[in-house]
């Protein structure tokens, strides 16, 4: 791993200039102490380990942004370097090529890469649920009955979490999505919204922050994705298997920072700061950020949620996205998250939030 070098050029130049101007002994001592303090700060920053994080600029990846802006990565000795991607495929390829330490690119896409032989591990989470089906208001009520999807045109982005959830719900309802309706695959959720507004399709599947954007565009929520599958996962944190094993300690530190960010986000008194942190990385209206994070339909959690990953994979087999019906439990590495949480509990054993996370971990992963 590379070390981060920070040169405090302006501050040190200022110190040298003052000493050269004939200060008193007291002033010189004070300046000397400042220089030592600055040198100590530089030494501390030099110990930060570079940690490359791939993400999609979305409110669903907010724990990264909060951990960065609130200094939680630095507290754990990591220099978080963000690498934004426009699509999941490119991001996952960067993970498997060793260019990233971690990446968050949905759940269906990494599962597809895993089936094709990619040596990746699932080690944590960012967002669960958070997608929705949108339509024009005059159709929304009718489409709340999933049987009424028959004969309709639906826009989606293939391998998006919401896409898998909707196709899985249709499968469970006995509806053949290849014969009973027409699904039109688009390149982005923005394209989906445009198609719905123009009447080219009857409804479309989007995700945060596009769910709220769709509402601002005059569309209506037919159903949120968790109304089809409760507690389903979306954005899982993945890593190259070898990189994870060889740098395990850094992954524990990384997850500690993410868990701290989750606690910070969940504290209502931090709401304004949280929104400002996310706004630096996601170019949407602050009201959309607030609705996504605090509106109740997006589940922000660093927990790996092994059970939900396995359920998502089963759904992908049911709808024909995956062919190999196998147990991928060995690829879901929950031990780093558990160790990170144990360390935080050891540091703050009476913290009720960390205690609640331990209970959640046991429910979702054991």
Q: Is the pLDDT of residue 23 over 90?
A: no
What are the pLDDT digits (tens) for 118-156? 999 999 999 999 999 999 999 999 999 999 999 999 999
When pLDDT is averaged across residues 164-171 and rounded to a whole number, the result is 98
* pLDDT over 90, % of the chain: 86
Kindly state whether residue 223 falls inside one of the protein's structural domains: yes
Considering the entire predicted model, what is its pTM? 0.85
State whether residue 208 is helix, strand or coil: coil
**Domain identity same for 145 and 292:** no
**Domain identity same for 118 and 246:** yes
Kindly state whether residue 289 falls inside one of the protein's structural domains: yes
- Domain boundary among the residues 170, 196, 227 is at 227
With the C-alpha atoms ordered 159, 160, 162, 163, is the resulting torsion angle positive or negative? negative
pLDDT reported for residue 325: 85
Confidence of residue 218 (pLDDT cuts 50, 70, 90): very high
**Angle at Cα 149 formed by Cα 145 and Cα 152, nearest 5°?**
145
**Domain identity same for 135 and 124:** no
**Domain identity same for 220 and 106:** no
Structural domain boundaries, residue 214: 131-227
**Domain identity same for 305 and 343:** yes
Kindly state whether residue 117 falls inside one of the protein's structural domains: yes
Q: With CA atoms as reference, report the closest residue to 237 among 127, 99, 87.
A: 127
- Domain boundary among the residues 193, 209, 227 is at 227
Q: With CA atoms as reference, report the closest residue to 157 among 184, 182, 133.
A: 184
Q: What is the CATH number of the domain that holds 215?
A: 3.40.190.10
Q: Is the pLDDT of residue 217 over 60?
A: yes
Pairwise CA distance, residues 246 & 166, whole Å? 38
What are the pLDDT digits (tens) for 350-359? 999 999 999 9
Q: Is the pLDDT of residue 57 over 50?
A: yes
Q: Is the pLDDT of residue 65 over 60?
A: yes
**Domain identity same for 143 and 218:** yes
When pLDDT is averaged across residues 319-334 and rounded to a whole number, the result is 94
Cβ burial of 330 (10 Å; 0-12, 13-18, 19+) is exposed
**Domain identity same for 289 and 325:** yes
Q: Domain count of the chain?
A: 3
User: Is 155 within 8 Å of 184 (Cβ atoms)?
Assistant: yes
User: Rounded to the nearest 10 degrees, what angle do helices 248-266 and 352-365 cross at?
Assistant: 120
pLDDT reported for residue 142: 97
What are the pLDDT digits (tens) for 232-282? 999 999 999 999 999 999 999 999 999 999 999 999 999 999 999 999 999
Kindly state whether residue 7 falls inside one of the protein's structural domains: no
**Domain identity same for 311 and 277:** yes
What are the pLDDT digits (tens) for 26-44? 333 333 445 444 544 444 4
pLDDT reported for residue 46: 59
**Domain identity same for 238 and 259:** yes
When pLDDT is averaged across residues 314-333 and rounded to a whole number, the result is 95
**Domain identity same for 274 and 350:** yes
**Domain identity same for 167 and 87:** no
Kindly state whether residue 137 falls inside one of the protein's structural domains: yes
**Domain identity same for 108 and 245:** yes
How far CA 10 is from CA of 13, 35, 48, in Å, comes to 5, 12, 21
């Amino acid at each position: 791993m590379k070390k981060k070098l920070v040169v405090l050029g302006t501050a040190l130049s200022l110190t040298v200039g003052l000493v050269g101007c004939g200060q008193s002994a007291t002033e010189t001592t004070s300046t000397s102490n400042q220089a030592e303090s600055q040198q100590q700060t530089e030494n501390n920053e030099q110990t930060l380990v570079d940690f490359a994080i791939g993400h999609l600029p979305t409110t669903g990846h907010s724990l990264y942004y909060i951990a960065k802006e609130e200094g939680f990565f630095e507290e754990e000795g990591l220099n978080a370097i963000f690498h934004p991607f426009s699509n999941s495929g490119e991001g996952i390829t960067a993970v498997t090529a060793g260019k990233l330490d971690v990446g968050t690119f949905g759940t269906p896409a990494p599962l597809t890469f895993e089936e094709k032989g990619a040596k990746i591990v699932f080690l944590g989470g960012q967002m669960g649920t958070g997608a929705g089906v949108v339509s024009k208001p005059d159709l929304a009520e009718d489409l709340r009955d999933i049987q009424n999807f028959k004969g309709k045109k639906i826009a989606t982005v293939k391998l998006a979490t919401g896409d898998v959830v909707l196709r899985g719900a249709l499968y469970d309802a006995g509806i053949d999505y290849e014969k009973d309706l027409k699904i039109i695959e688009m390149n982005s959720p923005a394209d989906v919204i445009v198609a719905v507004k123009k009447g080219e399709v009857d409804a479309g599947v989007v995700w945060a922050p596009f769910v709220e954007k769709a509402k601002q565009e005059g569309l209506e929520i037919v159903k949120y994705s968790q109304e089809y599958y409760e507690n389903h996962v979306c954005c899982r944190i993945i890593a190259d298997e070898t990189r994870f094993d060889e740098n395990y300690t850094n992954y524990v530190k990384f997850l500690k920072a993410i868990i701290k960010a989750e606690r910070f986000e969940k504290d209502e008194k931090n709401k304004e700061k949280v929104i400002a942190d996310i706004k630096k990385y996601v170019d949407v209206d602050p009201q959309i950020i607030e609705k996504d994070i605090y509106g109740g339909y997006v589940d922000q959690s660093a927990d790996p949620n092994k059970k939900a990953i396995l359920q998502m994979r089963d759904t992908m087999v049911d709808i024909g996205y995956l062919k190999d019906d196998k147990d991928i439990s060995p690829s879901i590495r929950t031990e780093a998250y558990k160790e990170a949480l144990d360390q935080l509990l050891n540091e703050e054993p009476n913290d009720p939030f960390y205690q609640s996370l331990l209970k959640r971990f046991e429910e979702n992963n054991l």
